[in-house]
Structure 1
Amino acid sequence: MREHPPHPLDALWQAPAIIWVLLAGECLAGILALAPGMSGSRWIYFGLASLVVQWVALLTLGTLYLTRNLLTGLRPLRLAWLAVGMLLANTWLVAWLAWWLMGDAWPVAADGWPALVARLTGIALAVGFLGLAAFQNHWRGRLHAVRAKQSELQALQARIRPHFLFNTLNTGAALVHQRPEEAERLLLDLADLFRAALAGPRQILLEDELSLARRYLEIEALRFGERLQVRWELPRVLPGVTVPALSIQPLVENAIRHGAERMARGDVEVAVSTTPDTVVVRISNPLPEAGGTAVPGHRVGLNASQVRIEALTGGRGSVRTETIGGRYVATVRLPVGPA
């Protein structure tokens, strides 16, 4: 599964954007009402100008929203020019409606309605070009932000690959020397883990990610023997939520490195619980007896998992760690449903 790229029109349907459009329209109406050479009541002219400007702005936003499915395939620049064309068309439509409904009651200059329509067209073009420039700056900034986030995630993925692969290779090397008869099982598990690590940033089902964690624990169980006990508590059916590949496995690896590896006898518990809105994955391990606190590490795996899960879920998911009853617990919360 791949994340869908952002669409240029997405920002227009958000409440802050609509509010800013309305405020900009009021500012434009105020500028027109304060222009020199205006005869009659400026308050009346401000009210009428505000009515026209807001109708044009809202009609343009509404037209773009209603045709959004037809516009999804257009390039951002073509889409911006089309929006300018819609702005012009709606300006002429509102001017025609004002002439049709009010006629001579509308306060126009001595040169009449054609000159007023020409001025409105010029204003619409000026506003459209300013909006086009603002749109290009906004879209470029948004693309730069998306690319920066992708680069950050890829950098974290690149940092976690050797961290994970080197530890697994060391496990395999120790196992091959101690129990060569189990090398085939080790190689099969390693092949699955290497394939996931080298596939690059992607999303997989939670069930598949837990399967990778299970393979890693099988390798470590072969290495530690009776020193390591693994307990799984899974629901009968796992929800079809997705997670970044190798986002939970590093938390299991941390439980081994900072728990069982430092103890004469340790255990790792992986428990999954579900609610209608959330899936919770808990990985816990006992703390070494000296001091009863977790031994600090580089936190590469934890930080990478936290950043990638928060990015995938739009901030609704999380990775938290805590100490409960002499055990170190990493809790992953995943929302059920799209971000």
Structure 2
Amino acid sequence: MNTPGHRPLDALFRPVALIAVLLAGEALALIIALSSHASGGRLIQFGLTSLGIQWICLSTLCTTFLLRRPLARLRSPTVAWICLGILLCMTLLVTLAAWSLFATPGDLADGKWSFVLRALAIALVVGLLTLLTYQNYWRAKQLAVSAEHAKLQALQARIQPHFLFNTLNTGVSLLHAKPDLAEQLLLDLSDLFRAALSQRESLRLAEDISLARRYLEIEQLRLGDRLRLTWDIPAELPALQVPTLSIQPLAENAIRHGIEPSTTGGDVGIRISTIDGFLQVAVSNSLPPASSRAAAGHQVGLSSVRARIHASTQGRGRVDTRVADDLYTATIRLPLDVAG
């Protein structure tokens, strides 16, 4: 099985890859035309060969695109051999159609099958060379993903103890001050510990929001009136997969660097919206007085979230930050077409 966001066919349907396929087809047509001794001129030979090859390329790409969902559930080597089979089938259909359109009545049946077999042989050789090239590319891609995953795990290892110790200290202080809320606290802590220590790389968006909500509920109990929360979340959320604990670190930063330094507290808002095919999760906090601000805040947790969002969406998602109207806002942008 292939993991979402790292499917073998994803690389094929990018603009650069599509242009490369078409240019490679033109190069193959030129080679065939220059090596041919057929009558009628090499320019005409090139034009007809180019037309046939591009029909084969486009029909193969279209068929593969239509089958991309079932193919995504298969292993990469199986997908590669199926794509080669599609190429050979399209070559057979196009060459038979070309023969029926351009062959003269005097052409023999033997010539027909000789023409078809030559085209299939060329397609087979080109397909095998393409598979070999793609295999090397895919191995390099997987090694790069593994290296990135190892970096993210190392970064997470730095985040999780900080998050867990802070939450535990919050629980200890709350248990002494308000023992009647101990059960609620322990249930929330249990969910947060389970998520932080789990090996799951991603969660549904609704689950990740729920974890952030539990964290903020604990902080609300600890800070009381100093923390003013605002939630702006639609009733129905898209079935989107996000890296585990994507929102909670941003909420934690908002508390640590926006609310705790201020003696009067402040506001934290979480807003979710969809704009131009992207989901936006904005976590904002009011800024404390300049004299009480930390020298360097919003860094480690933000770096972790930014790196994991970038890796899980192949660079299409991102985390933006801005300061405006005495508010610090961190916004996660995720493409909606990676919904799970």
Structures share fold, TM-score greater than 0.5: yes
Give 3-state SS (helix, strand or coil) of 2:8's partner.
Answer: coil
Aligned to 2:229: 231
Q: Aligned pairs, how many?
A: 334
TM-score, length of structure 1 as denominator length: 0.78
* Counterpart residue type for residue 52 of structure 1: G
CA distance in 2, matches of 1:130, 1:19: 18
Structure 1 residue 301 displacement after superposition:
0.9
CA distance in 2, matches of 1:233, 1:171: 22
CA distance in 2, matches of 1:125, 1:163: 56
Query: Contact (CA 8 Å) 2:323, 2:329: kept in 1 or not?
Result: yes
Confirm or deny that 1:35 pairs with 2:45: no
The percentage of aligned residue pairs carrying the same residue is: 48
Deviates more, 1:303-312 or 1:162-171: 303-312
Structure 1 residue 23 displacement after superposition:
1.5
Aligned to 2:124: 125
Alignment deviations for residues 187-220 of structure 1 (CA, whole Å, 9 cap, x no partner): 2332222122122344445454344334333433
Structure 1 residue 296 displacement after superposition:
0.3
Query: Contact (CA 8 Å) 1:232, 1:270: kept in 2 or not?
Result: yes
Confirm or deny that 1:197 pairs with 2:205: no
Q: Which runs of 5+ in 2 are unaligned?
A: none
Aligned to 2:282: 281
Structure 1 residue 164 displacement after superposition:
0.2
Show the 5 A alignment for 1:1-339.
4=4, 6-35=6-35, 41-68=41-68, 71-72=71-72, 74-104=74-104, 115-176=114-175, 182-224=181-223, 228-235=226-233, 237=235, 239-240=237-238, 242=240, 243-272=242-271, 274=273, 278-290=279-291, 295-297=295-297, 299-312=299-312, 315=315, 317-333=317-333, 338=338
Q: Which runs of 5+ in 1 are unaligned?
A: none
Structure 1 residue 71 displacement after superposition:
4.5
Q: Whose Rg is larger? A: 1
Query: Contact (CA 8 Å) 1:318, 1:332: kept in 2 or not?
Result: yes
Query: Contact (CA 8 Å) 2:230, 2:268: kept in 1 or not?
Result: yes
TM-score, length of structure 2 as denominator length: 0.78
Alignment deviations for residues 37-65 of structure 1 (CA, whole Å, 9 cap, x no partner): 66652222222322332233334334444
Alignment deviations for residues 279-322 of structure 1 (CA, whole Å, 9 cap, x no partner): 443320332331x7553047111112223344455655543333
* Counterpart residue type for residue 229 of structure 1: L
Query: Contact (CA 8 Å) 1:88, 1:125: kept in 2 or not?
Result: yes
* Counterpart residue type for residue 243 of structure 2: P
Give 3-state SS (helix, strand or coil) of 2:61's partner.
Answer: helix
* Counterpart residue type for residue 33 of structure 1: A
Q: CA RMSD in A?
A: 3.7
Query: Contact (CA 8 Å) 1:284, 1:330: kept in 2 or not?
Result: no
Structure 1 residue 149 displacement after superposition:
4.1
Alignment deviations for residues 205-243 of structure 1 (CA, whole Å, 9 cap, x no partner): 5454344334333433444456x2323243573634644
Give 3-state SS (helix, strand or coil) of 1:296's partner.
Answer: coil
CA distance in 1, matches of 2:234, 2:113: 73
